[in-house]
Amino acid sequence: MAEPEAIADAVLGALGRRHDLAGEIVLVTAGGTREALDPVRFLGNRSSGKMGYALAESRAEPRGEGDSHQRAVGAASAGALRVVKVVTADQMREAVLGRMTEATLVVKAAAVADYKPVNVSDHKLKRTGPMTIELAPTEDILAEVVRRRRPGQLIIGFAAETENRMENGRASCCARARTPL
């Protein structure tokens, strides 16, 4: 995958705006989510959030504590980045949908966990042999953002793929947007 700075430059270039987002309110998500199995373990992915953070930081200087283990939703305007830290896909969904109406541009990482455990244990699960975990799909936040977008609001989604990267990435985004790229 390309470096985050190169991707940020490509996004801004595609928009015809090189570092000129004056007056825009940009909502960026960064990092994957974690879905608890028990108080100690979780399901997640390897998303570092670097791309989303690079995009957000190209817009404004972050304020507040940085924690590479936290997923974030940030709305940047007037040179300040407001960061909302979330952990689960449900928290990410709530944070994004609660802030997307004010945004003129939404840049959404598709790093949200695709599944969550149906049952979460209140205590640490002990190693006793093979285990089966029933999973339920999480909500597709990007698809919901696309459905709720208002006229003139630009939505950009990005995802990591392991094979047929361009084709699978386009297919995923087009399925959500229902428009070809």
Which pLDDT value is given to residue 118? 97
Q: What is the C-alpha separation between 108 and 159, in angstroms, rounded? A: 9
pTM of the model: 0.73
Tell me the chain's radius of gyration from C-alpha atoms. Answer: 17
> How many domains, the chain?
1
Which pLDDT value is given to residue 103? 87
Residue 98 phi, psi (nearest 5): -75, -15
Identify the H or E element spanning 143.
Answer: helix 141-148
Which pLDDT value is given to residue 90? 93
| 34-86 tens-digit pLDDT | 999 999 999 988 887 777 777 777 655 443 333 333 344 554 444 456 778 88
Residue 115 phi, psi (nearest 5): -135, 155
Q: What is the domain extent for residue 83?
A: 4-123+131-177
Which pLDDT value is given to residue 20? 56
Identify the H or E element spanning 12.
Answer: helix 4-14
Which pLDDT value is given to residue 175? 54
Contact assessment for residue 75 and residue 105, using Cβ atoms and an 8 Å cutoff? no
CATH number of the domain encompassing residue 70: 3.40.50.10300
> Residues of the chain whose pLDDT is less than 70?
1, 4-5, 8-9, 11-22, 58-81, 110, 165, 168-181
The alpha carbon of residue 13 and the mean position of all alpha carbons in its chain are separated, in whole angstroms, by 21
Residue 58 phi, psi (nearest 5): -70, -15
Which pLDDT value is given to residue 75? 46
Which pLDDT value is given to residue 27? 86
